[in-house]
Amino acid sequence: MYKFSPSLMCMDLSRFKEQVEVLNDKADFYHVDIMDGHFVKNITLSPFFIQELKKITDVPIDAHLMVTNPADFVEMTIDAGADYISLHAETINGNAFRLINQIKEKGKKFGVVLNPATPLESIRHYIQHVDKLTIMTVDPGFAGQKFVEEMIGKIKEAKELKERNGYKYLITIDGSCNKNTFKKLVEAGAEVLIVGSSGLFGLDEDVNIAWDKMMDTFHLEVKDISQV
């Protein structure tokens, strides 16, 4: 069964509580982007946002740290209530094992994120510790970018590695998960789809209706794939 993770940077923040209460009965995860304006040229949500979100949901929260110095953010993100701490491979190879231990010792799940140009090979020394492997299918930083087709091969590689070695990570896709890509992503091996403006929130002002539209489209697109 495939899982869906709304990207909350794309929600209508003026209707934060209303939309979260609708999504609580539908979402498998919440995806919370934390950007520092340096690793990517944008600033979005924060550990404080997670703290407030945690007050109104039991849905697992995946904190995606798009930051240059993740060690500065990990502890406060854990304390805020995130369940998964997802770090960019490009930022952690100097202290990856220290950060993994810090996350796991607090009972949290460790996620790693790969930019489109970053190969799976870059995480081979700690891939066995990964609970959630997020493959970016757009360059990170801003919503609405063009899907990078070359990432289909990376998703297939991640699936093959997982099956061959018995790894437990969830293959998660971040970027342009929508009606144009659902089928190719699922066929390649995607397990968790992070849905933002084009996949969910932009489909209708009423997030309940938007969710139903998304699911109708998803099942129509993947109806011939046996796992669904």
Active site residues: 33, 174
Residue 94 marked as a ligand binder = no
142 annotated as ligand-binding = yes
Do the annotations mark residue 166 as ligand-binding? no
Contact between 225 and 190 under an 8 Å Cβ cutoff? The reply is no
Does 64 show up as a binding residue in the annotation? yes
How many Cβ atoms are within 10 Å of 110's Cβ, its own excluded? 21
Annotated binding residue 153: no
Q: Is 197 annotated as a binding residue?
A: yes
- Does the annotation flag 31 for ligand binding? yes
Rounded CA separation 13/50 (Å)? 13
- Please report the beta strands in 14-169, taking only residues with DSSP state E, as ranges in sequence order: 30-35, 61-66, 84-88, 109-114, 132-136
Residue 22 parent element (H or E) = helix 16-23
Compute the Cα dihedral for 40, 43, 44, 46 and give only its sign: positive
Q: Residue 66's beta-bridge partner residues?
A: 35
Residue 105 CB: number of other CB atoms within 10 A? 9
Burial of 44 (0-12, 13-18, 19+ CB in 10 A): buried
Binding-site annotation, residues for a divalent metal cation: 31, 33, 64, 174
Binding-site annotation, residues: 31, 33, 64, 141-144, 174-176, 196-198
Binding-site annotation, residues for substrate: 64, 141-144, 174-176, 196-198
